[in-house]
Amino acid sequence: MHPASPPPDRSGLDALLRNRPFLALWTGQLLAQVADKIFYVLLIILVKTGGYTPGQNPDNSMLSAVMIAYTVPAIVFGSAAGIVVDRFSKKQMLIACNVIRALLIVALPFLPKAFVVLLAITFLVSTVTQFFAPAEAAAIPLAVGREGLMSANALFASSTMGGIIVGMTIGEPLFSWVKHSFGADSQEFLLGGLYLISAGLIYAMRIKENHAGSSGKNVHPWQDLKEGLRYLKHNHLVSNAMVQLTILYSVFAALQVLAIALSGKIGLKETQFGFLLAAAGIGMVFGAAFLGHSGHRMHHKPLPLIGFLMMGFVLAMFAFTRQLWVGFGLSALFGFGASLINGPMQALIQEKTPESMRGKVFGLENNAINIALSLPLALTGPLTDAVSKAVGSDDLGLRIVLLSLGFLVSVMGMAAWKHTRKVLQDAL
């Protein structure tokens, strides 16, 4: 994927798993990812049974208010977080984010049981999380060499999916067990402990930062934001890679919604849609292994285009799938295709962006992806309901939406590659 093929013995997954700084960063962020999703589950539990709302059955508006407090910081502070990250040590930023989140969550049992308090803690925890994401992305090139970027990013992407699935799956049973065994407030202490363990793992990471610990004096946020936007405007290689990543995450968001109805069609309960997403995560792991082992020999191939076409094909085939094993196989193929986009594009952004600009660039990327995630999550469900109502059949409505989305993803992938291949093909 790079102009000069890197040595195989330094680019594969085996080399990454022998890289102690990378292992510390990877395991630390994986635990933080799981904690993030468990926190999401804890919020639902606290709203319903934690005594923060009047009555036993809080209305949907209260649940929506908590979800808004959880998601708004991702859109509002994503870019600003990247500016701050460039001013300080990435390692120190990652540790500080985990410690602050732990303290905020552990403080909950000692604060008044008021709904506004829960909203405030939710907002603050989510805001701190926005600083973790760009610092993590900017730290990856410091922990691995240039030749290991594709493998590292593919592994991070697959483990992120795994963290989401694990966190959502074990959250409720884990909290029920802890609450029954150690008391009501033990839930918050357990979650705070996960963040502290993540901080300890990242503390063990030994990396060299050229601008580590740079002073936060003379900070001009607006000028820094404009500097980041100017960089993307003039560096078409980085901006075009970011566009393809934004499309990728939009498609993933749509699949998260459609997977609920699709699970019921292939023999699962709709509440078991996480298994279908887990298969996609497994596919991403295989994609990471493929890129780690053979990616350096595929630098002349349009891997992102192949990935988009693969994802479009899978979505179209989902429309006709009614067998469980076929559904799992297609979902794994979907994840494999996604890794062909995410690994190369993220590696390109990290490699071609100077260390002093990485925080700004990854902050803007995080902001764009969060906005891209929000639109499909908000529109896919109502669109599917509207189509189903128009054709008079839920099954036919889902089939039409899947076929249309598959076609749209393929077209967007071809259009994005056609528009960017002159810029990207020499760098891939």
pLDDT digit string, tens, across residues 24-50: 999 999 999 889 888 888 887 787 776
pLDDT recorded at residue 215:
47
* Crossing angle of the two packed helices 90-107 and 78-85, in degrees rounded to 10: 130
The whole model's pTM is what? 0.69
The torsion angles phi and psi of 204, rounded to 5 degrees, stand at: -75, -5
Q: What is the pLDDT of residue 1?
A: 41
Does the pLDDT value for residue 9 go beyond 50?
Answer: no
Average pLDDT across the chain, whole number: 79
Amino acid identity, position 27: T
Which distant-in-sequence residues (6+ apart) come within 8 Å of 17 by Cβ? 23
Q: What are the φ and ψ backbone dihedral angles of 185, each rounded to 5 degrees?
A: -75, -5
Please report the pLDDT score of residue 403 as a whole number.
93
- Percent of the chain topping pLDDT 70: 81
CA distances from 306 to 273, 327, 337, 413 (A): 26, 20, 7, 9
pLDDT confidence band for 4 (50 / 70 / 90): very low
DSSP 276: H
| Identity at 394, one-letter amino acid code | D
Report yes or no: 6 and 297 within 8 Å, Cβ to Cβ. no
Is the per-residue pLDDT at 204 higher than 80?
A: yes
Return the closest-CA partner of residue 381 out of 246, 256, 247, 248. Answer: 256
Residue 14, helix vs strand vs coil: helix
Helix-then-strand count for the chain, H and E:
16, 0
Report the amino acid identity of residue 103: L
Q: Quick one: CA torsion of 192, 164, 348, 339, rounded to 10 degrees?
A: 160
- pLDDT (tens digit per residue) in 272-292: 676 787 788 788 878 877 876
pLDDT value at 135 more than 80: yes
Instruction: Tell me the C-alpha distance between 123 and 178, whole Å.
Output: 25
Report pLDDT for 6.
42
Q: Residue 424 above 80 pLDDT?
A: no
| pLDDT tens digits along 301-310 | 678 889 999 9
420 vs 77: which has the higher pLDDT: 77
Residue 44 burial class via C-beta count within 10 angstroms: exposed 0-12, middle 13-18, buried 19 and up: middle
> How far is residue 247's CA from residue 236's CA, in Å, rounded to a whole number?
16
Q: What angle do CA 328, 316, 286 make, to 5 degrees?
A: 40
Looking at residue 77, its amino acid is F
